[in-house]
Chain A
């Protein structure tokens, strides 16, 4: 197991380098950041040249990349063009998005698995059919639609929650945005659990569990549910990374100053240090989440052994 972890960590290095370079290259291709800095005004050529030199923008791309990576490794993510420290932006944005992700994941686990279990145990009955239909509807509605509709209904019409989130973003304000963010994944978790339950409920070892004289609730929780959750855990694990970086739409709708919001602002204003910095951290989050999922898999299924 230890060797496996080391090998996986080493494998992360090329993935990390490749993906960050791609991001770096794409942001570079966005255009001239110095021109963007001056907005509508044409920059004074001498000033522009000076800024370019200060920011290494006159060096070839690979040199810029190397310089950037070297800085990152010393913990310096640079400053955004408005003078704000990118590290500071991150320190503000990541906790907010992390809280949002936690809320969303909790929704997925509690509601998704419960619905999946119920419909899986009652295959072909009305509960199952309605859950299948509902998840299909949820999956087909884009987040910006469900987000605005729910925001209007809960935040404006019935006014049960505040329609936008304050900069502090406490958990109670994140309930509705968390639900919106979770919706699509929740539908997937439900369907995944349902299929897995339906498949495993025909397994021979469940009959054995009944033949041992175990009561039904014990058969379902200890033998059926536990064994059916392996693919679900995998999905939720990888979803953590996706939710952290993919909350752009949700954060925009509810005015949450998290990762997605900052990324959006960074792209809009061609603020490359912000974009590259945030994405770099997201890449790491993604890689680590994937590694944990793979290790969790071995813990959940004793037949999988990593060497």
Chain B
């Protein structure tokens, strides 16, 4: 029995002028209905690319995809475009990060919400409009019957993000991918949007993939966590496990670079030294080893030469013996 969304051994490569970029490399994860998976990582770690390929939104001319993406047992990587069209916006939907550019400036919010509904359900213009108003009410837009005729630029940032969510949820999708849905918003609005997503999930029981670089967002919303680095999974587990007892030095680093309310205010944050590797030419062995402080604790040259196994279930892709560095950063 496979999960509702099951990604198996996914690799995504882009052909660029400088060479082939391995944006995602051997990634596997599962999401069940009614659960939220948080995918965490820095910019360029492959988290967005992964989810664009789930919906088939990559450019097929420059992108090469290997592995399998199974939605309810159906492989999306081999599915024809006509099948994907019927799934997109209907059974699987996406919320994009920047709602100002992701919404078309030339159509009213209501029309943009109604568009996928009409396409997938064959509803009339009138029915779709009523549905758009209902969705706007659901996501907490005041005066939805009036605001439905507004253009995106007449909405505030938070309202636009709500409208995006309304648009993604208009057909009650079973899989919702939210790509940094709160990054462009201020903290209070961020909390509202995340609560909204949780509420809607409880009503519809959809599976959610929440892409973020913010561990605080993960802590509040996700059931499971996948930490990505340089296109690979470096750690996975339940949100509680990963946040309470992280096993990968990169996760330690992420947690160590976050401010904590309980620490003294003048205590400096601990950044992760260095920057993520180029995916044109990833380092051999463990991709994190150039930035890792624990390379010496592993015997010999293993970190530099041997690629650690990707984590299955609860685990980390690291040569360190389990528990070796626990509590290092806290």
Instruction: Give the B-binding residues of A (Cβ under 8 A).
Output: 203-205, 207-216, 218, 223, 226-227, 300-303
Contacts and interface: CB of A to CB of B under 8 A. Distances in A.
A209 B120 CA distance: 13
A213 B104 contact: no
B88 A209 contact: no
A210 B57 contact: yes
A212 B121 CA distance: 13
Interface string B79-114: 001000111111001101010011111101000000
Interface of B: 55, 57, 81, 85-90, 93-94, 96, 98, 101-106, 108, 115-116, 119-120, 151, 153, 167
Contacts of A215: 85
Contacts of A203: 101
Contacts of A303: 105, 151, 153
Contact of B101 (A205, A211, A212): A205
Nearest to A211: B94
A226 B106 contact: yes
A207 B102 contact: yes
A211 B151 contact: no
A227 B88 CA distance: 23
Contacts of A300: 106
Given A212-B116, A214-B115, A215-B85, A205 B167 contact: no
Given A203-B101, A205-B102, A226-B106, A211 B55 contact: yes
Nearest to B55: A211
B85 A214 contact: yes
A211 B89 contact: yes
B106 A302 contact: yes
Contacts of A301: 105-106
Nearest to A302: B151
A213 B120 contact: yes
Contacts of A223: 104
Given A213-B86, A213-B90, A214-B85, A208 B102 contact: yes
A208 B57 CA distance: 9
Contacts of B81: 216
List the 8 closest pairs (A to B, CB-CB), nearest first.
A213-B89, A213-B88, A212-B89, A212-B116, A204-B101, A205-B104, A204-B102, A302-B151
Contact of B98 (A204, A211, A214, A227): A204
B102 A210 contact: no
A213 B96 CA distance: 15
B253 to A, nearest CB: 31
B96 A207 contact: yes
A213 B116 CA distance: 7
Q: Which of B57, B89, B104, B115 has the most CB of A within 10 A?
A: B104
Contacts of B102: 204-205, 207-208
A302 B105 contact: yes
A205 B96 CA distance: 10
15 contacts: A207-B96, A208-B103, A208-B167, A211-B88, A211-B94, A212-B88, A213-B85, A213-B120, A214-B89, A214-B115, A218-B119, A300-B106, A301-B106, A302-B151, A303-B153
A207 B179 CA distance: 13
B98 to A, nearest CB: 6
Nearest to B52: A207
Contacts of B108: 302
Contacts of B116: 212-214
A208 B85 contact: no
A257 to B, nearest CB: 43
A227 B105 CA distance: 9
Contacts of B89: 211-214
Contacts of A216: 81
Given A211-B57, A212-B116, A303-B105, 11 more contacts: A205-B102, A205-B103, A208-B96, A211-B88, A213-B86, A214-B89, A216-B81, A223-B104, A227-B105, A301-B106, A302-B108
A209 B57 CA distance: 10
A222 to B, nearest CB: 8
A208 B86 CA distance: 15
B98 A212 contact: no
A213 B105 CA distance: 19
A205 B94 CA distance: 12
Contacts of B94: 211
Given A213-B116, A223-B104, A300-B106, A207 B85 contact: no
